Structure 1
Amino acid sequence: MAGYLTRRLGQIVFTILAMSVVIFGITQVLPGNVAYVIAGQFATPDQIAAIETRLGLNDPMWQQFLRWAGAALQGDLGTSMVMSRPVGPLVAEALGRSAQLAGVSFLLVALIGVVVGVVSGVRAGGWFDRVALVVTWLSVAMPQFFIAIVLVLLFSGHLGWLPATGYTPISGGVLNWLSHLILPVATLVVGLFAHVASLQRASMIETLGASYVRAARAKGLSERKVITRHALRNALIPTVTVLTLDLGILMGGIVVVETVFSYPGLGRLMITAVEQKDLPVLQASVLTVTVIYAFANLIADLCYLALDPRLRTGHAGVR
């Protein structure tokens, strides 16, 4: 296990280093010039040139990358070119707010998706299964921005029950905090739980037809014990995979949701950084998402080992 963790951590480090090069290269070719954003539309060419020199934008790209990467390794993510604030605390604040949104959404996606998938798989062909299939089809068919707009029009515009935009910290009151999370969380959950439910249903049906499940039934075990002790554990393994993938989709969905609901999280910060070509903020934000996704894959692999002890010897099938 120690050797496996060492190899996986080495892969994560390599992935982050490779992605840092890609991220830096992509941000350098974005159209526009941050100097014009800082100086304003009426700035003279001399003023633009002075700002570019001060920010080091005229240096060769490799020098800019080494300067940025060296500082990042020391924990210094730079200073926002537009807001003149340290990037580290700026990204940390936005990440904290996004973590609340993503954490609640991910837990609900996992819980609802697994429960619906298990019940549908156990009672395949029943009324619950048919209703669940229709709901999951509709969920997959509707884009997240459409779900968000419908929820805002219904629960904020028509009924007036929930705020349409903004964010309130939990220190401002739990109910107020929850009221600002409900619509963004609902948008993410509706758009993602169908992936988990569909795979869990298919995996459950396949597992219930396996020989070891039939043997457990032949021994006289109750259906409840057959499902909970023998079928569910193995049926969850593919679901762990799709949950990891959904975490990546969730991070992408947050960008859309935070924009629609004016939620001041990491997604909205990245959109603002792109619009203003604030390279340090954009680079740090995307790198943060990369790190989160890399460690999410590691957690998924560890879950594989916990769910299927056979993988602990040779790690067969583990990425």
Structure 2
Amino acid sequence: MLKFIARRLLLALITLGILLVIVTLIPNIAPGDPARKIAGGTASPERLAQVTESLGLRDSVATQLGDLGISVVTVDFGDSFSVAAGEPVMSLVFTALVNSAKLVGLSLLIMVPIAILGGLVAAYKKDTWIDRTIVNTGLAFSAIPDFVAGVFLLAFLAVPFEFFKVQANPPPGASVAVQIQHLLLPALAVLMVYFGYIARITRAGTINALEADYTRTAFMRGLSTRDVFRKHIARNALQPTVAVLGTQLGYLFGGMVALEIVFGYPGMGNLIIRAVDRADYPVLRAGVLTVAIIYMIATLCADLLVAWMNPRARLNIGEDS
């Protein structure tokens, strides 16, 4: 097990190193003068020189890469230039990260049980009208972009019903219930987009588990459906679902830009897009790297969970150790 974890961590570090190189090169290969974009067209030569020095653009790429690595280790990316001038970058990232965590957490609480239940029901009712209804509904929802789903929910829920809020960002000091009320529509939009994908993955895994020899043997031994599902089907059927959810977690933190814009929510995706728009490279670097690290951690946790759910994988890991 330790060797398995070590290999996964080494792969994550290599991926992070490649990403550090790419993020370092962004201001160096971007068209135009990054300092001019940040300081503005009417900035004085002294201001341009100050911004250039702050970005480290006068240093070699290797030096910039080393400085960025130190920033990651020390969790210090300096101050924002234009998104929130003078504010510490990590303060902005932490605030956006907390907001994204709230939205992602509520979205998963709603989406995962419903999608998995839909996949399980579709598998048990394979080739019936129930199966076809769940699969086709999921396919139709999956074809809808997330921002279209958000606009659809705004039009059909927020407008006629006061309970649903147009703005996802709750007022300061709002209770947990009020925060959930404000986040409900974007969470439902995530459900619409991901329901079909997760349900189909769960359905396929469940069908494979139901048709496996160990399942037939368990039924022949007289075990009840509940015991067969709990002991033999659940772990094997849900392994692909767990793996998919782990890989999608990083996207949920940083990729819901359109949804965050539609609902006016200050999450990680919104922060990154504002950093791109205003050429705030310290914020952009910190935001991209934060999302990447979350993605790596989520993927590692999903791999470990799948290994725990799969006896054969656990055996292979134990042999490696």
* Fold shared by both chains (TM-score > 0.5): yes
Kept in 1: contact 2:111–2:195 (CA 8 A) = yes
Map 1:290-309 onto structure 2 (within 5 A): 290-309=292-311
Which region of structure 1 is more displaced relative to structure 2, 149-158 or 49-58?
49-58
Residue in structure 2 matched with residue 208 of structure 1 by the alignment: 210
Query: Whole-Å Cα distance in 2 between the matches of residues 13 and 213 of structure 1?
Result: 40
Q: Deviations over 1:99-135 (max 9, x none)?
A: 1111221233321121111111012133432321221
1:226 alignment partner AA: V
- 1:190 offset after TM fit, Å? 1.1
Kept in 1: contact 2:20–2:68 (CA 8 A) = no
Kept in 2: contact 1:247–1:293 (CA 8 A) = yes
SS of the aligned residue for 1:172 comes to coil
Residue in structure 2 matched with residue 96 of structure 1 by the alignment: 98
Match of 1:119 among 118, 121, 129: 121
Q: Deviations over 1:33-85 (max 9, x none)?
A: 45445544433556534543454434333333322322332221221122111
Q: Are 1:48 and 2:51 matched, yes or no?
A: no
Q: Which runs of 5+ in 2 are unaligned?
A: none
Query: Whole-Å Cα distance in 2 between the matches of residues 290 and 38 of structure 1?
Result: 25
Residue in structure 2 matched with residue 81 of structure 1 by the alignment: 81
Q: Are 1:57 and 2:57 matched, yes or no?
A: yes
- 1:201 offset after TM fit, Å? 0.7
Map 1:172-211 onto structure 2 (within 5 A): 172-211=174-213
Q: How many residues align?
A: 317
2:9 alignment partner AA: L
Residue in structure 2 matched with residue 17 of structure 1 by the alignment: 17
Residue in structure 1 matched with residue 133 of structure 2 by the alignment: 131
Query: Whole-Å Cα distance in 1 between the matches of residues 221 and 43 of structure 2?
Result: 83
Calculate percent identity across the aligned residue pairs. Answer: 36
| Aligned-residue CA RMSD (Å) | 2.3
- 1:266 offset after TM fit, Å? 0.9
SS of the aligned residue for 1:149 comes to helix
- 1:95 offset after TM fit, Å? 0.3
Query: Whole-Å Cα distance in 2 between the matches of residues 180 and 290 of structure 1?
Result: 27
- 1:23 offset after TM fit, Å? 1.9
Kept in 1: contact 2:253–2:268 (CA 8 A) = no
Query: Whole-Å Cα distance in 1 between the matches of residues 149 and 32 of structure 2?
Result: 32
Map 1:247-266 onto structure 2 (within 5 A): 247-266=249-268
Q: Deviations over 1:1-28 (max 9, x none)?
A: 2222222222222222221112222343
Which region of structure 1 is more displaced relative to structure 2, 39-48 or 16-25?
39-48
Kept in 1: contact 2:24–2:61 (CA 8 A) = no
Question: Structure 2 vs 1, CA of residues 39 and 211 (structure 1 numbering), >3 Å: closer, same or farther?
Answer: closer
Which region of structure 1 is more displaced relative to structure 2, 103-112 or 282-291?
103-112
Residue in structure 2 matched with residue 242 of structure 1 by the alignment: 244
Q: Which runs of 5+ in 1 are unaligned?
A: none
Kept in 2: contact 1:255–1:267 (CA 8 A) = yes
Which region of structure 1 is more displaced relative to structure 2, 183-192 or 252-261?
252-261
Divergent runs of 4+, >6 A = none
1:224 alignment partner AA: R
Scaled by the length of structure 2, the TM-score of the pair is 0.90
